[in-house]
Every structure is written in structure tokens, then in C-alpha cells.
Structure 1
């Protein structure tokens, strides 16, 4: 059994830093993970940073996602027995060391040459699942071989060509992917000035388009597969289909035999509709603030969606998570699992697989320490423990 899957294994990450400090060793990267952002942005080319880190419009939703965590506070309970803690869970048939996963992100070779492979390997070592992006820079078959126990989830880009969709579904199943994520919040690309100002969309340059450009059904559409201009044009023709409806979701459900997660839900009524259409889990997400400038924070939307679903299927959430304490807040509001996006991107940019591992170690160890100090022994017990509330703006001193 992996150390991180053992009881209280995350605490050993925490204690290990102090033990190594006895010989003068300090962490190579900051343990306040928010500090990684400036390091990562300094390392990226401006046009690459514009695509990878930019948000929609004036960035209000990116800020709102983050600000929602600052409006909450935790209320510890004391003298509870939390000596033996276990945060392991199973979601959509995937065993997880903790209710944490890596959200799908595309074009990652802009950040580091090892890109998706570095992430899946670091995550696999820690029992954390990675949701493979449809815009991965490595073929899904190769990622599955790189981390066969971790690569179980894949997001599908909802193309307007059924032959390509069927081919991607078949490739996913043959690679051992058993859970499909379908994003429903991308009928068209959001208005992203940080990318537009550089006129740079990586997929038109072949970055993050690997799975499509190597797909047999896509290649069959080409007159000349070696013609870069034709490839870019054909890829653009295939991109997100704005004609998709709830009936389209039902048809996709019928075509995929494994668990189906519907991502990009922001209304309780849409979450319920997704369940009625056959979703095995609902994913509260606003695309990291990259689609609609001024959209509500996912953390703020979470409680109403959790109440609407009422335990019928798991509820996942991402957006604005910057620490293990943030993970705890989302879990306390009812999420069954929490996705990490930009944090992992920053770790990858700064130090590749080691940087991703550092981010995951810090998140998992802080999550465990926070849960223990709240007087709770399991991440799954956080909501019932009633340890989170909205900050009233008033403080009392006792």
C-alpha cells in the first residue's frame, strides 16, 4: 500500500519537512502555493501565459471564484478523537486516496515539455486521479500506459462529427478509461483578452490537438494529413458544437457504457436535468472563469446544487482552489470531490513532475491537518460536522 494511502499518511508529508530541516534542508518550492503563480508566470512566454492562465473578459469570474473562499470561515471543534484519520473514497468506480483530483487542462506543453505525462505520474504516486483533457498534448493511449492505475477519467470535446466522437470513445475504452467527462459549458470559446491580444490559440498551432490530429476518423477527413493549414482548418471545423441539447446528452449517455460525469453545471435545475439524462455525477464548474465574465463563483453555487441533488449522485467542484484549506471548505459545503486546476499548472510550469508532486503533497497534507484541527477524522464527515459558515464581517473577542 502506498504511503499516502496509509492511515495518516498525509501527516508524514507535513512532519517530514520539519525532520529534514534538522539537517538544514528546506523545501525547494514555497508551501504557500499561491506564491507559485508569480513564479510560473515569470517562466512562461507572454502568449503562452495569456492562454493558460487568462480568464474571460476583465477576469471578474476568476477573481470571484477565489473571493468566495475568503467569505467563508471554519469553526473548529475540540477534544474529539482524530488520532486515526482516513480520507480515502471511491467515486465513479475510482478509488482515491482523498477526495481530490486534477481537473482537465489543455495545451500543457506550453508550460513544460513533459506536460500531461508529468501530471499523471505525480498524481498516480499519490493516489490522485487525473482527468485527461481532450486538449492533452499526449495521446490518451500513451498517458494510460504512463500511469495505468491513475488515468481512468477523460473529458470529451463535444465535436460536431459523430465519427470522430465514436472513435475517441473507442480509443478511451481500449486505453482503460472507464469514466467519461462531458463538458457542457463550451458552446463557443469565451472572450479571453489575454489570449486574443496575442492572437494565439495553441490548437491552431498543433499544441493540445494531439488526440484529434492522430485520430483515425479525423485523418480520414483529410485530403493531405501532412498539410498544416488543412489540419488547422479541419480542427476548427470540428471544434465545440453549439447545437448540442439535452437530447444530445441522452444520446451520448447511450453510447458510453461507463460512468458519465457532466461538467460545467451552474444551476440546480441543470444539475437535476443532467441526472435525469443519466449522469453518474455532476461537476459544478465555470471553466475556471474562462467562459463567462461575471459568472457566479462555483463555491457559491455549490450548496444549492448539493441540496438539489440530495445524494442521488456525487457532486464535484473546481474553481479558485489554492490550498488544502480551500479543499476542506468545498467538502464542508457538500462536495464529494474537489478539482485542482491552476495550482497544478503552476507547479508543472515551475518544476515539472516534481512541481506537480509538491503541489499535491502540500494540498493533501494541509487538507489533512485542517480536518484534524477541526475535530473531524474523515473528509467524508465534514459536511455533517457543520464546521463552515459565511463570514459575517463582525468579530468577537473572548
Structure 2
């Protein structure tokens, strides 16, 4: 994606001559401010919120402030090569879209719009296991563009196999197993609203579209009706709208409620262990990526079990309050494991300069999360495209100004302790 930075500058400034300003702000602070204004309280709590007192979220950002880029002059490089090779495939940039659950809180048909934006920008999209559109719909929207699939390990092993098989059939390039959400973290923003999207049928489309899950839900014994309140009626209506099929048929059916209750019972396995993960090589032909690694010993064990890559991540600060910053963990893990293992990174990426810093500290590629969701809230598919384009453009300009002609040239020598 040579020249991405200058092309973006030219596009925005040419529109400025005509009196047009970008719908999606070029800086993260304004992007966040406008997205919050455009979002409901429930949506903002879920997408922007973090665990506990928010210390891990703050720590993720503070970690970037401890490093400074040291530009080198007169490199003579007119063009930059932003491409990287990951898990046997060439990617146009080192940026992927992280899986974000319950995206429809920020905009209808969220996952399909994100998928189209990813395809339009040549960016790999990691389909969320807690998405609001089935993976098959997202794959169809992307054509031949690159996608991976995130897996939450269910209590039901048959459902695990069914989701893996569907991901393979949908053309996923890798299976990304999330390890750090065997139980939900303490999230005060959601708790203060009494709001869990999944309890309303939001973010469970991969399940309600799955034959094994539907079989489990259909066999669930009928539950007695609970207390009837205005809130309960609204929740029932939300379940009905979010369930596959017609609204009126769903309203008369026990299926929407049974699906929600089944999901809440089995979607994640608190007993997930390395023994479970050791079975993956026999269960899928896809490259395996383990997401949520923060300790060098866990990274070593992952690769010893045959993982092809790990994602150094604290789930964007959403699971444990006062956890180590992902960027600090990246440095420790890269130093411990050496240059060869494939380390991906997320949690705290906001700008192209952040991407540069993470790459210099040992990441092979990074995953972007909240910023593109904010773009979705502001302008749908176009908003996601604009956020991706802005981050890539800033990365390209940072590389040009720092004297790094390609991704391989971004090493720790490009940084200094701030």
C-alpha cells in the first residue's frame, strides 16, 4: 500500500478546498467524543467500557507514552512497503480488525458492514464469535477478501466442532481462540445499567445460525415465565427481533428465549485448559492463533502445543482491572521467545504511530478494535473504511518520516525510552 499516507492527505485537503470536512475525525479523541454522542448509553457502556476502575485500559495507553520514535533522516526511500506475511498469506498492511461482539449496538447489520469495509480496504477481519450476523453472511459480503474467525470455547464440544467446521467452510484463514474470557470480567459500566447484550439476543447470531446450537436449545426444558415487568416485556421483544425468522412467529415461539438462555449457559467454558487446546491440531486444518497471552511461559506453551501465532492482549482492558499493559507484555514475551514466533498484538492501538511503536517492539501485526467501532457508529461501513484508511495513512507517513522503507525496517532501534 505504497503512498497511502500522501493519497489520504491529498483526498482530505482536496475535499477541504470544496468546503467539505471529514465525517470521521482524523484524531482519536474527537472520534471518540463524536461516537459517544452518536451512541446509546447501553452501546457506549459495552463497547467503550472496561473492567473495574479502568486501570488496565489506562495502563494500555500509558505504555505507549513510555516509548518515543527516533526519526532517521535522508533515507532516500520514496515508497514504503507496508505488506507483511502472516501464517502463509500476504497481507497488504500489518493491520487487522479485532473481533468485537454485539456490534449491532453501534449500528444495524454491523458485522456485514464491517466485513465490506475490511474487504474494500484490503484488511483482514476477524469475525466475532459473538457477532450479530452469521459468519456465512459476512463471508459472502467479503468475496475472496481475507477473514479469520474467533472462537469462544463452549461447554459443548460438539458446538466447538460445528463452529470450527463452519469457519473452514466460510473461507477463514485462521482460527483465533480467545482464552481470556472463560468468564465475564467485572464491568461496572454495563453493571450499572443492568445491561448484558446477549440477554436480549444481541451478539448471538453465530449460535442461532448453528445446527448444533439449535439442537441443544430445542432440547432445553421449558422454563416458567418470570416476573412480568415493563423491562421484561422490552427484553422479550428484543429477543424476538434479534432471533432469526419473522417477528410474529418468533413472538409466539419459545425459541428466542430458549436460545438466549442456552447461550448464557454454554457459550464459554470456565474449565478451559491446555488439555482442551492440545486437541485443536486434530480438529482443524486452519492455522491456530491463541488470543489473550500476557506471560512468556504461556506463550511458550502455546507454541509447544502447535499454535501458529499468539495475540498478546488483555482484551482491551475489559476483563481484569489492574492487569499488565499489553504493550509491556509484548516486550517481555518477544525478549523471552526471540525473533521467530509470530506475535500479534492488540489493546490500546489508536493511531498509525501506535502501530509503528507496537511493530518496533516486536509485533508482527496488530489488531484494531474500538476505533473502527466508533467509525461504524458515526458513518456505518464508510466510517469503518475511513478509520482504517486513516490509521494506515498515518502509519505510512510515520514510516516515511522515520526513514523506514518497509515493515521489516521497523525495529526497536527506531525507538527510545521516553
- Smaller-chain TM-score bracket: over 0.9
Question: Which residue of structure 2 lines up, in the alignment, with residue 27 of structure 1?
Answer: 22
Any unmatched runs of 5+ in structure 2? 221-252
Question: Which residue of structure 2 lines up, in the alignment, with residue 217 of structure 1?
Answer: 212
Question: Which residue of structure 2 lines up, in the alignment, with residue 58 of structure 1?
Answer: 53
Question: Which residue of structure 2 lines up, in the alignment, with residue 112 of structure 1?
Answer: 107
Q: Return the alpha-carbon distance in structure 1 between the equivalents of residues 88 and 205 of structure 2.
A: 28
Deviations 1:245-278 (A, max 9, x none): 1111111232111111110000011111100011
Equivalence map 1:301-340=2 (5 Å):
301-340=329-368
Deviation at 1:151, TM superposition (A): 4.3
Question: Which residue of structure 2 lines up, in the alignment, with residue 196 of structure 1?
Answer: 191
Deviation at 1:328, TM superposition (A): 0.6
Q: Secondary structure at the match of 2:279?
A: helix
Question: Which residue of structure 2 lines up, in the alignment, with residue 370 of structure 1?
Answer: 398
Deviation at 1:231, TM superposition (A): 1.7
Q: Secondary structure at the match of 1:130?
A: strand
Per the normalisation by structure 1, the TM-score is 0.93
Question: Which residue of structure 1 lines up, in the alignment, with residue 3 of structure 2?
Answer: 8
2:388 to 360, 363, 369: 360
Does residue 295 in structure 1 map to residue 291 in structure 2?
no
Deviations 1:188-233 (A, max 9, x none): 1100010111111111111100111121001111137743332222
Per the normalisation by structure 2, the TM-score is 0.89
1:18 to 2, 9, 13: 13
Deviation at 1:83, TM superposition (A): 0.6
Q: Return the alpha-carbon distance in structure 2 between the equivalents of residues 377 and 306 of structure 1.
A: 23
Q: Return the alpha-carbon distance in structure 2 between the equivalents of residues 78 and 25 of structure 1.
A: 34
Measured at CA, do residues 22 and 39 of structure 1 come closer, stay the same or move farther in structure 2, by a change above 3 Å? closer
Question: Which residue of structure 2 lines up, in the alignment, with residue 389 of structure 1?
Answer: 416
Q: Secondary structure at the match of 1:234?
A: helix
Does residue 235 in structure 1 map to residue 230 in structure 2?
no
2:379 to 351, 356, 361: 351
Q: Return the alpha-carbon distance in structure 2 between the equivalents of residues 226 and 388 of structure 1.
A: 58
Does residue 252 in structure 1 map to residue 280 in structure 2?
yes
Q: Secondary structure at the match of 1:389?
A: strand
Q: Return the alpha-carbon distance in structure 2 between the equivalents of residues 230 and 22 of structure 1.
A: 56
Q: Secondary structure at the match of 1:243?
A: coil
Q: Secondary structure at the match of 2:176?
A: strand
Larger mean CA deviation between 223-232 and 307-316 belongs to 223-232
Equivalence map 1:72-221=2 (5 Å):
72-221=67-216
Deviation at 1:314, TM superposition (A): 1.2
Deviation at 1:240, TM superposition (A): 1.4
Q: Return the alpha-carbon distance in structure 2 between the equivalents of residues 140 and 151 of structure 1.
A: 13
Q: Secondary structure at the match of 1:235?
A: helix
Deviations 1:271-324 (A, max 9, x none): 111000111011000000000000011011111111223233211001111111
C-alpha contact (below 8 Å) 1:264/1:286 kept by paired residues: yes
C-alpha contact (below 8 Å) 1:347/1:355 kept by paired residues: yes
Q: Return the alpha-carbon distance in structure 2 between the equivalents of residues 116 and 232 of structure 1.
A: 19
C-alpha contact (below 8 Å) 1:137/1:209 kept by paired residues: yes
Equivalence map 1:30-41=2 (5 Å):
30-41=25-36
Larger mean CA deviation between 263-272 and 233-242 belongs to 233-242
Larger mean CA deviation between 306-315 and 256-265 belongs to 306-315
Q: Return the alpha-carbon distance in structure 2 between the equivalents of residues 22 and 347 of structure 1.
A: 24
